[in-house]
């Protein structure tokens, strides 16, 4: 295996959780809800996926547990912000606080236990293609899911009727309501999807990236995912570009260090953040296209008239 392939493999592992969590948040935000609790939902997904895997012995059940836990946990946020119209920004941050604390409590008996790694699945024929075979077709199911989910969400948002409704809710909840769309229910489901994705991303952390459970193991990745949604201008395919750009710069800077270039490691470590900003500047100069894709009702509460 060449060094380039090796680097790309690490990039894929690093980028996958970012893409998945960001994708969930993208759908949530497209419905007009800003959930800053990604970090908290992610770490809850990580702990429950790890625990379920340990108890049942099957990482696949672990994945399901991670998804379920993220989805259920997100409903706490949904109830507060949608039913009780509490402020979304503050509630999301409180959700992160709660998730970090609760996952630490739940995970205490799983600390220091050796994890079970989710094994890759080789896709017949395709896996034997040189270079791209091992990179793209000898991966674990979560990686395949991440790509499928991006394609699925793209189709859902732009090609399906339900997706059109969801976008309508996000752009103008009042008109969507007038047209007979159930705004609140749509948003509940969108938040739940966001939670499920964050949970899946968490499962990737504790089953693939580093098969173990330690407190706060998401280490800020939920925040990066949030930033990536903005980076993508709320378009699913761009998430892959953003996630992989961030991952690639993160991994390359480690290689640059191992190579002994003599550049301060702090400067190298800040490159992924700077690179993301610069690329965003380059792609967002067109004000009109950015505006079209930004959900206009983002963060605004909705209460139906009766």
Partner 1 sequence: MRIELEKRAKISTLFSILSPFIAFLLMIIFGGIMFALLGKNPVTALYSFFVEPLSEVWSLHELAIKAAPLILIAVGLSVCFRSNNWNIGAEGQFIMGAIAGSILPVVFYDWQSPLVLPLMMLMGMLGGALFAAIPAFLKAHMNTNEILTSLMLVYVAQLFLDWLVRGPWRNPGGMNFPETRTFAADAILPEMIASGRTHWGFAFAIIAAILVWFMMRYTLKGFEISVLGQSERAGRFAGFSSRRMIWFSMLLSGALAGLAGISEVSGAIQQLRPVISPGYGFTAIIVAFLGRLNPLGIIAAGLVLALTYLGGEAAQLSLGVSDKVTRVFQGLLLFFVLSCDTLIHYRIRLVWYRFTASDLDGSR
Partner 2 sequence: MKKLLLALASTAAVIGFASAAAAQEKAKVCFVYVGSKTDGGWTQAHDIGRLELEKALGDKIETQFLESVPEGPDAERAIERLARSGCGLIYTTSFGFMDATIKIAQKFPDVKFEHATGYKTAPNVATYNSRFYEGRYIQGVIAAKMSEKGVAGYIASFPIPEVVMGINSFVIGARSVNPDFKIKVVWANTWFDPGKEADAAKALVDQGVDILTQHTDTTAPMQVAAERGIKAFGQASDMIAAGPKTQLTAIVDTWGAYYIKRTQAFLDGKWETTSSWDGLKDGILTMAPYTNMPDDVKKLAEETEAKIKSGELKPFTGPLKKQDGSEWLAAGASSDDGTLLGMNFYVEGVDDQLPK
User: CB 79 → partner 1: shortest distance, Å?
Assistant: 9
Burial class (CB in 10 A: 0-12, 13-18, 19+), 103: buried
Enumerate the H helices of the chain as residue ranges. Answer: 3-30, 38-56, 59-78, 88-107, 132-136, 141-159, 161-171, 173-178, 183-204, 221-231, 236-259, 265-283, 287-293
Largest CA distance in the chain: 67
- 295 makes contact, choosing from partner 1, partner 2, none, with CB < 5 to 8 Å by partner type, with none
Indicate the residue among 130 and 220 with the shorter CB distance to partner 2.
220
User: CB 109 → partner 2: shortest distance, Å?
Assistant: 10
Interface positions with partner 2 (CB under 8 A): 3, 6-7, 9-10, 14, 104, 108, 111-115, 117, 205, 209-212, 214-217, 219, 221, 250-251, 254-255, 257-260, 262, 264-266, 269
Tokens of 73: 């946990």
User: CB 6 → partner 2: shortest distance, Å?
Assistant: 4
User: CB 225 → partner 1: shortest distance, Å?
Assistant: 11
User: CB 61 → partner 1: shortest distance, Å?
Assistant: 25
b/e sequence 196-232, b meaning 16+ C-beta within 10 Å: bbbbbbbbbbbbbbebbbbeebbeebbbbbbbbbbbb
Interface positions with partner 1 (CB under 8 A): 76, 80, 83-87, 89-91, 93-95, 97-102, 104-105, 108, 215, 223, 226-227, 230-231, 264, 266-267, 269-270, 273-274, 276-277, 280-281, 284-287, 290, 303, 306
């Amino acid at each position: 295996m060449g060094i380039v392939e090796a680097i790309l493999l690490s990039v894929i592992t690093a980028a996958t959780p970012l893409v998945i969590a960001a994708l969930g948040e993208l759908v949530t935000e497209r419905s007009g809800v800003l959930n800053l609790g990604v970090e908290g939902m992610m770490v809850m997904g990580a702990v429950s996926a790890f625990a379920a895997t340990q108890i049942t012995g099957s990482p696949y059940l672990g994945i399901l547990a991670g998804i379920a836990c993220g989805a259920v946990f997100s409903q706490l946020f949904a109830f507060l912000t949608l039913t009780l119209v509490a402020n979304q920004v503050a509630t999301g941050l409180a959700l992160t606080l709660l998730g970090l604390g609760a996952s630490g409590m739940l995970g205490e008996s799983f600390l220091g236990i050796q994890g079970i790694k989710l094994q890759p699945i080789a896709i017949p024929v395709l896996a034997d293609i040189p270079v791209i075979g091992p990179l793209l077709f000898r991966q674990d199911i979560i990686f395949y899911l991440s790509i499928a989910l991006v394609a699925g969400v793209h189709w859902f948002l732009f090609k399906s009727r339900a997706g059109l409704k969801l976008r309508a809710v996000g752009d103008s909840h009042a008109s969507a309501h007038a047209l007979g769309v159930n705004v609140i229910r749509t948003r509940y489901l969108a938040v739940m999807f966001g939670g499920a994705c964050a949970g899946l991303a968490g499962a990737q952390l504790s089953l693939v990236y580093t098969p173990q459970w330690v407190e706060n193991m998401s280490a800020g990745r939920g925040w990066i995912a949030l930033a990536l949604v903005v980076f993508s201008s709320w378009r699913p395919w761009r998430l892959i570009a953003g996630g992989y750009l961030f991952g690639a710069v993160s991994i390359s800077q480690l290689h640059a260090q191992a190579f002994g270039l003599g550049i301060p490691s702090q400067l190298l470590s800040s490159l992924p953040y700077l690179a993301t900003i610069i690329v965003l500047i380059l792609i967002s100069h067109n004000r009109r296209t950015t505006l079209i894709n930004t959900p206009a009702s983002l963060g605004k509460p909705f209460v139906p008239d009766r």
